[in-house]
């Protein structure tokens, strides 16, 4: 089932046999415990909360971010159980972000997908997101590590900044490549980084180790989101149940759009100005956008950059012992950089 | 200037000479420091954030909640400065709630007031609210008290639960008085309680003292919100620049509506079912609702309950020394219970 936000396509990866499955299998029991913690801690006497949160949480996600927390803890040799509730925290923050991402403006009600806000309305999505976010902080307080609280509160603030920046960049082709990367880093990569760093913190690793894992997560996250941004313009026959063109219809200035605009002729640029800036959309515009991206090799270039970030991520793990955990993390980063959906 | 949400009418009290002014004056310098902290900490390289947050934060609120933190700290004899950033936290959480309160559904775009979401859109309001919320937690982490983090993360979760419950009760006249009070307690009183309790915590007071102040805040908050719910049905000539009838148009089942429904004739009940449950609104319905409330003495009854909660709040301060601070807190609770706008 295709859920919610287009820029979180990890949910579509879930039934195939791939590097992410390997990742999951390595922390199978831990992940089961995380799933229990998630279901347990999203309960409320207000029944709409577990209903709405469950809609998103139980819809088959691979729990990529909490798995990073689990696996990074194991990579650091951690033997305790603190990583379980903290991994649930990371998933709550991610889910709150998804719920808030899907809140629509009066002007953009046409997406028509079965997102939580389409079923329960904007207000409920916002408020349940707030609940999950607050609950995440309650779980961190129970854990009692101020350092974990610092990492995840900072990540949350940066995510919000990234999302606001992305909104501010919408419909604005003066956005630079650097702007695009800053948005990607803030809205996606920062939580990957935090998820990994928390694994080092629970394991009482020195700051340098924590920093290495944070950098691994950051590069992985940038790579992940770069690919995500290409998927929105992938040819429609490449995957089942996938919705493409959301970013395009919303006038999001992602890297593929920006490169196609910068590399385009005067006529091409007029097309991008009409569609992205003025959002005057006509039949066939998405196909035209895709063909312009193909013409200028934009999607290949972005995917190539994604692979570079994935390589950088893997390289960052060089100082760790060559365990199954390290291999699985590396393979997952490479797999995500090469995924087509 | 009338800002944002109807259920936060404290902002309208601000220019009159009253017990809240006395409250403010007692912590004048502290409050100035809080205002500086607020402006300082809402900054971001993403310019839309201080713009949007500033719209709400600088629009003349009396900062009732942070003032409670300041004054409760002083009541406990606190001499340090930790209460300043923590009071800013409380205001950030309150402001985030306001921003998220104002997010509208596709079906309720007609309020037409100059709220943040009307100017910047739903998405921006949600995301800037998220930023302020995250920033609040960052400030708490800097302070370093896990107990403060516990109090305010729990309050935030309860607020979200209260707001979701209120949404779930909308258009449903099977809501009970107890349900109404539960919503009021969760969505409003809990933050009043937390704001007060934090004052005791920074002062290293024993748990019993902290609990007394939390109970004071809880009763004050219930009283405050009960009056707020009557104000939405106050005759339109009672105040300047005030908008009434928002709750009515949204089909909110507040205590005044519920009492008027329960006490009404069969014919009255049909009116409430049509307007509140089915939201089939006609010209003159608000006036009719107000006249039914007058007929059954509903508003007077709710105000009388509000005064009882205010009395209970004041009584809860009996064990504290009879200082200016204690008097000001009591007067403020009484004043809010008797305010007409």
Burial class (CB in 10 A: 0-12, 13-18, 19+), B294: middle
d(CA A238, CA A341): 7
Answer whether A168 sits within 8 Å of B46, measured CB to CB: yes
Model confidence at A240: pLDDT above 50: no
Residue A340: the pLDDT is 79
Half-sphere exposure of residue A340: CA atoms within 13 angstroms, side-chain side: 8
pLDDT-derived band at B115 (thresholds 50, 70, 90) equals: low
d(CA B269, CA B262): 8
The CA–CA distances, whole Å, from A126 to A98, A99, B154, B254 equal 10, 7, 18, 21
| pLDDT at res. A103 | 83
For residue A261, how many other CB atoms are within 10 A of its CB?
Answer: 21
Which one has a higher pLDDT value, A23 or A72? A72
How do the domains of chain A map onto residue ranges? 19-338
- Which whole number is the average pLDDT over A95-119? 67
H helix or E strand, kind and range, residue A226: helix A207-231
Q: What is the pLDDT of residue B57?
A: 80
Residue B106, pLDDT > 70, answer no
Residue listed under structure tokens 């291999």: A327
Residue A282 backbone class (left: φ over 0; alpha: ψ -120 to 50; beta: rest): beta
Please state, in angstroms and rounded to a whole number, the distance separating the CA atoms of residues B257 and B315. Answer: 29
- Contact residues, B window 145-164, toward A, CB-based 8 Å cutoff: 146, 149-150, 153-154, 156-157, 159-161, 163-164
**pLDDT tens readout for residues B136-194:** 999 999 999 999 999 999 999 999 999 999 999 999 999 999 999 999 999 999 999 99
Q: Distance from B181 to chain A by nearest Cα, in Å?
A: 14
CATH architecture for segment(s) A19-338: Orthogonal Bundle (1.10)
Output the 3-class SS for B238-294. CCCCCCCCHHHHHCCCCHHHHHHHHHCCHHHHHHHHHHHHCCCCCCCHHHHHHHHHH
Confidence of residue A22 (pLDDT cuts 50, 70, 90): confident
Q: Is the pLDDT of residue B277 over 90?
A: yes
Taking residues B61-78, report their average pLDDT: 95
The model's pTM is: 0.91
Nearest residue to B98 (alpha-carbon basis) of B113, B86, B85:
B113
Q: What is the model's pLDDT at position A111?
A: 37
Contact (CB, 8 A) for B138 and A157: yes
Chain A to chain B Cβ contacts (< 8 Å)? 152
d(CA A222, CA B18) in angstroms, rounded, equals 55
- A137 band by pLDDT with thresholds 50, 70 and 90: very high
The predicted model gives A66-91 an average pLDDT of 97
Over residues A292-297, the mean pLDDT reads: 96
State the DSSP string of B77-111. T--SSTHHHHHHHHHHHHHHHHHHHT---GGGGGG
Weakest mean pLDDT among A176-190, A248-262, B97-111, B323-337: B97-111
C-alpha–C-alpha distance, residues B91 and B59, integer Å = 13
Taking only the tens place, the pLDDT of each residue in A157-215 is: 999 999 999 999 999 999 999 999 999 999 999 999 999 999 999 999 999 999 999 99
Provide the pLDDT for residue A114: 57
pLDDT at B3 over 50: no
Q: Do B131 and A49 touch (CB under 8 A)?
A: no
pLDDT score, position B111: 37
Supply the pLDDT for residue B214.
98
pLDDT at A109: 39
pLDDT band at A13 (very low <50, low <70, confident <90, very high): very low
A96 vs B contacts (CB less than 8 Å): 130
Q: Assess whether pLDDT exceeds 50 at residue B195.
A: yes
| B39: contact with A, CB 8 A cutoff | no
Count of alpha carbons within 13 angstroms of residue A208, beta-carbon side: 2
Res A108: pLDDT: 43
- For residue A242, the model assigns a pLDDT of 54
Query: According to the model, what pLDDT value does residue B235 have?
Result: 62
Averaged pLDDT, B204-208: 97
Instruction: Kindly write down the DSSP assignment for every residue of A138-180, as one continuous string.
Output: HHHHHHT-HHHHHHHHHHHHHHHHHHHHHHHHTT-TT--HHHH
Mean model confidence pLDDT for chain A: 89
> Given a cut of 50, is residue A14 above it in pLDDT?
no
A255: which residues sit within 8 A by CB, 6+ positions away? A177, A180, A181, A184, A226, A229, A302, A305
Token digits of residue A198 = 């928390």
Predicted confidence band of residue A10 (pLDDT cuts 50, 70, 90):
very low
Q: Which two tokens stand for residue B219?
A: 């009763």
- The answer, for B105 touching chain A at a CB cutoff of 8 Å, is yes
pLDDT grade for A296, boundaries at 50, 70 and 90: very high
Give dist(CA A114, CA B286) in Å, integer. 36
A122 chain-B contacts, CB cut-off 8 A? 103-106, 122
Neighbour tally for B304: CB within 10 Å: 12
Q: Which residue of B has its CA nearest to A159?
A: B131
User: Using CA atoms, how far apart are residues A227 and A241, in angstroms rounded to an integer?
Assistant: 18
Binned at pLDDT 50, 70 and 90, residue A58 comes out as confident
Please provide the average confidence, as pLDDT, over all residues in chain B.
89
Is A8's pLDDT higher than 60?
no
Give Cβ neighbours of residue A11 (< 8 Å, ≥ 6 apart). Answer: A2, A3, A59, A60, A61, A62
Q: What number is the average pLDDT over the span B19-35?
A: 92
Q: Which two tokens stand for residue A185?
A: 């880093």
Band of pLDDT at residue B236, cut at 50, 70 and 90 = low
Q: Please report residues of A whose CB lies closer than 8 A to that of B168.
A: 46-48
Mean pLDDT check: name the lowest of A224-238, A296-310, B63-77, B129-143. A224-238
Distance in angstroms (rounded) separating the CA atoms of residues B316 and B326: 11
Q: Which residues of A touch B46 (CB under 8 A)?
A: 161, 164-165, 168
In this predicted structure, the answer to whether residue B234 has a pLDDT above a threshold of 90 is no
Beta-carbon contacts of residue A123 (< 8 Å; ≥ 6 apart): B103, B104, B105, B167
CB B129 within 8 A of CB A99: no
């Amino acid at each position: 089932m295709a859920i919610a936000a287009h820029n979180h396509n990890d949910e579509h990866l879930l039934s195939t046999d791939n590097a992410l499955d390997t990742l999951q299998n390595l922390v199978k029991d831990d992940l089961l415990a995380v799933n229990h913690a998630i279901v347990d801690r999203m309960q409320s006497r207000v029944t709409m909360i577990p209903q709405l949160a469950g809609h998103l949480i139980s819809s088959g996600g691979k729990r990529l971010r909490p798995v990073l927390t689990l696996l990074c803890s194991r990579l650091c040799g951690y033997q305790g159980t603190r990583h379980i509730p903290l991994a649930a925290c990371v998933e709550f923050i991610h889910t709150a972000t998804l719920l808030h991402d899907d809140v629509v403006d009066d002007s953009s009600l046409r997406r028509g997908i079965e997102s939580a806000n389409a079923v329960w309305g904007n207000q409920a999505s916002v408020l349940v997101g707030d609940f999950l976010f607050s609950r995440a902080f309650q779980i961190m307080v129970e854990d009692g590590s101020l350092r974990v609280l610092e990492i995840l509160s900072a990540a949350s603030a940066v995510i919000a900044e990234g999302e606001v920046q992305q909104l501010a960049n919408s419909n604005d082709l003066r956005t630079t490549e650097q702007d695009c990367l800053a948005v990607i880093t803030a809205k996606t990569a920062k939580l990957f980084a935090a998820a990994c760093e928390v694994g080092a913190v629970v394991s009482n690793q020195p700051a340098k180790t924590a920093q290495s894992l944070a950098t691994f997560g950051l590069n992985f996250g940038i790579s992940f989101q770069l690919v995500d941004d290409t998927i929105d313009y992938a040819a429609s026959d490449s995957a089942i149940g996938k919705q493409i063109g959301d970013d395009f219809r919303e006038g999001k200035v992602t890297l593929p759009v920006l490169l196609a605009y910068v590399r385009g002729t005067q006529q091409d640029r007029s097309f991008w100005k009409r569609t992205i800036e003025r959002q005057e959309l006509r039949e066939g515009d998405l196909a035209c956008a895709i063909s312009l991206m193909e013409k200028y090799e934009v999607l290949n270039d972005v995917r190539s950059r994604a692979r570079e970030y994935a390589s950088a991520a893997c390289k960052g793990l060089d100082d760790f012992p060559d365990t199954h955990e390290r291999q699985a993390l590396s393979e997952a980063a490479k797999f995500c950089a090469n995924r087509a959906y």
